Amino acid sequence: MRRRTAALALGTAAAMVLTGCSAMSPNANGTVTLNMVESLTNPSRTDLLKGLIADFEKQNPKIKVNLISPPTEQADQKIRQMLQSGSGVDALEVRDITVGPWSNNGWLYDMAKDLKGWQGWNAMTENAVKASEDAKGRTFFVPYGFYGLSLFYRKDLIKDAGFSKPPASWDQLLKQASAINDPAKRRYGYAFRGGANANSNATAIIEAYVADKVDLANGYKLKNGRTIFSAPEALDALKTYLTLFKKASPKSSVSWGYPEMVEAFSNGSTAFLLQDPEVIATVSESKSISKEQWDTAPLVAGPSGKTVQPLATAGWGIAKGSKHKAETVKLIKFLSQGKASTDFTKKNSLVPILKSATEDPFYKTGPWSSYVTMTKHPDTYLNVSQPRGVTWWSEWEQKSDADVQKMVTGKMSPKELLTGWDAYWTKKWEQEK
């Protein structure tokens, strides 16, 4: 009896081990299964990716892709844990804010050699090619698109408030948002970002105010080498931003992150929203506001009439622990060119990586036209790189988000906030030398 039980246990264990191994190694007919993890998950995006993967599998019958889609809020944490374990991930979504720490930990594979001479590079925009390389010429991810800010606005509300066109500057935004703001009617001017990633919009206004002085290679640096937070204009910027919160934003927006801001604009309660293009798809589906009621305008400028457009990006990379790098490179090439890339950027509302997309009528009309306007006027809408790839970015986000909340709740003055941010970056850059 005991012997039979032992045999059964051994058999079960062997079966489990073999099943486990089948996901790692090619099976009898040579089929390879890749594990692919996405980070910025949402249901329609996951369906879109599954469709693209199905096309890839059709072209490559010997490769199967198993898509893993953790909930967005915990995705990067989950990916981090998977990467730390050293196996179980082949392809993964790498963001400009995660590439630094993950590559520093030795979790990402440098694809530079595999992609040398790849035809796909020629079809890509300069921004995309630039974003795919780090300072040492290594390629840890190939971008699938860009996220850039534009101003979502309510056409009907600004007209009712007596304005003929959307604001072009932060001052005008403050004026229009304040005029529209009427809490008694539960109507608010601006969808303020006070919660997760609050630092990004606070930095956007600071960068707009110092646009003339900013170092294009590092959006947190002035041309004189000091931080943008040390400039006198930064204080004016933050004071304007604080007034925008006090005079034109819902009080609860002190804790608003991405979902709350988008929801507030989509349900018709706020007149202005600063967001990435992916929101176009979400707002278009709104049942509370019609397509005639809203549009987008280029990112608002500072006093000089210029502004800074920090392009955020993400893309597809390979885990260093992957045992199927050649197949994964194949998958990344497939997703980064031709119809697959165009479909992904269009349906996921992203600034495209392919040059050909700028000629596409899809990007020239409606809410997308503001992005074309910004692209056509690079002297007004300056493209800058933010130091998002540094290993301390996560620490910076935590600190700066908490500081923005302190400022809007009156626990910290704009001056104190700027002094702290200036000291933080100065010290980090000193340590880096």
Partner 1 sequence: MAPAAIFVAVFTYYPMIAGSQMAFRHWDLNDLTDTSWVGLDNFHRVFSDPNWGTVLGNTGAWVIGSIVPQLVIGFALALWLRRRFRFRGVYQALIFFPWAISGFLIGILFRWMFNSEFGVVNDLLQKAGLIDQPVAWLADPHKAMIAVLIANIWYGVTFFAIMILAALQSVPDELYEAAALDGAGKARTLFQITIPYIRVTLVLTVLLRVIWIFNFPDLIFGMTGGGPNNQTHIVTTWMIKITQQGDYGKASALGLLVVAGLLLFTVFFLLATREKREVRS
Strand, coil or helix: 198: helix
CB closer to partner 1, 169 vs 394: 394
Burial environment of residue 79 by CB neighbours within 10 A (0 to 12, 13 to 18, 19 or more): buried
Residues 253-272 that bind partner 1 (CB under 8 A): 254-255, 269
CB closer to partner 1, 394 vs 419: 394
Are the beta carbons of 178 and 247 closer than 8 angstroms? yes
User: Per-residue contact track with partner 1, 136 to 175, x per CB under 8 A?
Assistant: ----------------------------------------
Q: Both tokens of residue 181?
A: 């703001």
Radius of gyration of the CA atoms of the chain, in A: 24
Q: Does 427 bind partner 1 (CB under 8 A)?
A: no
* CA gap 317, 324 in Å, rounded: 13
Residues 68-107 that bind partner 1 (CB under 8 A): 74, 77, 80, 84, 101, 104-106
Please name every residue paired with 221 in a beta bridge, in sequence order, or none if there are none.
Answer: 227
Count other C-beta atoms under 10 Å from residue 329's C-beta. Answer: 20
Q: Does 40 bind partner 1 (CB under 8 A)?
A: no
CB closer to partner 1, 269 vs 426: 269
Question: Could you tell me which residues come within 8 angstroms of residue 111 by beta carbon, excluding any fewer than 6 positions away?
Answer: 139, 140, 142, 317, 318, 329, 332
CB closer to partner 1, 25 vs 105: 105
Q: Does 183 bind partner 1 (CB under 8 A)?
A: yes
Q: Does 387 bind partner 1 (CB under 8 A)?
A: no
Strand order in the sheet with 91-95: 63-68, 32-37, 91-95, 312-318, 142-147
Count other C-beta atoms under 10 Å from residue 369's C-beta. Answer: 16
Q: Does 182 bind partner 1 (CB under 8 A)?
A: no
Q: Looking at 85-93, 288-296, 394-402, 417-425, which segment touches partner 1 (CB under 8 A)?
A: 394-402
To the nearest whole angstrom, how small is the minimum distance from the Cβ of residue 214 to partner 1?
27
Q: Among 27, 66, 252, 356, which residue interacts with partner 1 (rule: CB under 8 A)?
A: 252
**Which residues here bind partner 1, judged by CB under 8 A?**
74, 77, 80, 84, 101, 104-106, 183, 186, 188, 194-196, 250-252, 254-255, 269, 391-392, 394-395, 398, 402, 405-406, 409, 411
